Amino acid sequence: MKVVITKDYTEMCKLASRIFAAEITLKPDCVLGLATGSTPVGMYKELVEMYNEHRVDFSQVKTVNLDEYAGLSGDNDQSYRYFMNHNLFDHINKENTNVPNGTAADLEAECERYEQVVASMGGVDVQLLGIGNNGHIAFNEPCEEFPEKTHVVNLTQNTIEANARFFASMDDVPKKALTMGIGTIMKAKKIVLLANGAKKAQTIYDTVYGPITPKVPASILRLHPDVTIFVDEEAGALLKK
C-alpha cells in the first residue's frame, strides 16, 4: 500500500485524476470503478476539465459504480445515479455507465445481476474509493466478516448520520443500500482511495496501521498488491506521528 500525503484537497484531486487519465490513455476501453460522496467531486471536476481540453476520451470507457441507495430511483437527486450524471457523466462522452438499480423489484436479484455485469466486463481496471468515518468502503460497513459479493446492506447509524446532511430530515435518509462486496472490490487490478479532512484521520490511521479486520473494512486493502491512498494533511495527520 502506497500512502501519499498531499498539501490539500486540490492537489489530492489532481494527482488522483492523473491516474485515471493515464489508465484511459493506455487502455481506451478500460473499466473504471467509480465512487460517490463529497470526496471524489474535485477529481471528477479535473476529469471533466481534461475532457474539455481534449486530453482524455471516454468514448470506449466502461464504468461501474460501487453502490446505490435502496428505494431511490435515478431521477431522485439524492440517488448515486443522479450524483454521477450530475458530477461526471453529463459532462463527458460516456457510453457505458453502470450503477446498481436501487428500485429493482427484487434487490437480491439486482445484486446478482450487478455482480455479473462487473464480471462480464472482465473486472475493474482502476477502482476509486472514498472511506467512511467508520472505515467503510463502498457501503461495506464494519461487521464480523468481510462480505464477498454485491449485496444488500443495512446502513449503520454512523453512516445514516453522516449522510443526513444531504437529506431534508433523518427520516428521509435511506436505511438500506446495494453495494459491491469487499471481494468484488479487491478483484480490481488497481485501487485508489481518497480521504480528506480531520474527521477521516483516525480511520485512515486504523486502515494503514491497525489490525486487518472487518471492523475496519478498509484495512483489507493492505492485502491488495496495488493500492494508493491519497490523503490531505488533515486526514493524514495521525500517520505523521
Q: Which residues are catalytic?
A: 67, 134, 136, 141
The helix or strand, by DSSP H or E, that contains position 168, with its residue range, turns out to be: none
Stretch that binds ligand PGA, among 36-44, 90-98, 102-110, 146-154 (CB under 6 A): 36-44
CB of 108 to ligand PGA, least distance (A): 23
Q: Of 113-152, which residues contact ligand PGA (CB under 6 A)?
A: 130-132
Which of 63, 113, 100 has the alpha carbon at shortest distance from 177?
100
Residue 1 vs residues 37, 55, 133, 208: alpha-carbon distances, Å: 23, 29, 20, 8
- Among 8, 22, 25, 38, interactor with ligand PGA by CB under 6 A: 38
Taking the complex as a whole, the smallest distance from the CB of residue 5 to ligand PGA amounts, in Å, to 18
Q: Which stretch binds ligand PGA (CB under 6 A): 23-31, 34-42, 51-59, 98-106?
A: 34-42
Tell the smallest beta-carbon distance from residue 163 to ligand PGA (Å): 8
**CA 225-228-231 angle, 5° bins:** 150
CB nearer to ligand PGA: give 109 or 170.
Answer: 170
From candidates 12, 23, 33, 37, binder to ligand PGA by CB under 6 A: 37
CA separation (Å) from 212 to 1, 53, 144, 207, 217? 13, 42, 12, 8, 8
Residue 213: CB minimum distance to ligand PGA, A: 18
230: Cα separation from own chain's centroid: 13
- Is the Cβ of residue 100 or residue 130 nearer to ligand PGA in the bound state? 130
Nearer to ligand PGA, 37 or 181 (CB): 37
Total of chain residues touching ligand PGA, rule CB under 6 A: 6
Nearest to 66 by CA among 46, 37, 44, 89: 37
Residue 96 CB-half CA count within 13 A: 16
Minimum distance from residue 109 beta carbon to ligand PGA (Å): 25
Q: Are 109 and 117 in contact (CB under 8 A)?
A: no
Q: How many CB atoms lie within 10 A of CB 226?
A: 12
List contacts with ligand PGA (CB under 6 A): 37-39, 130-132
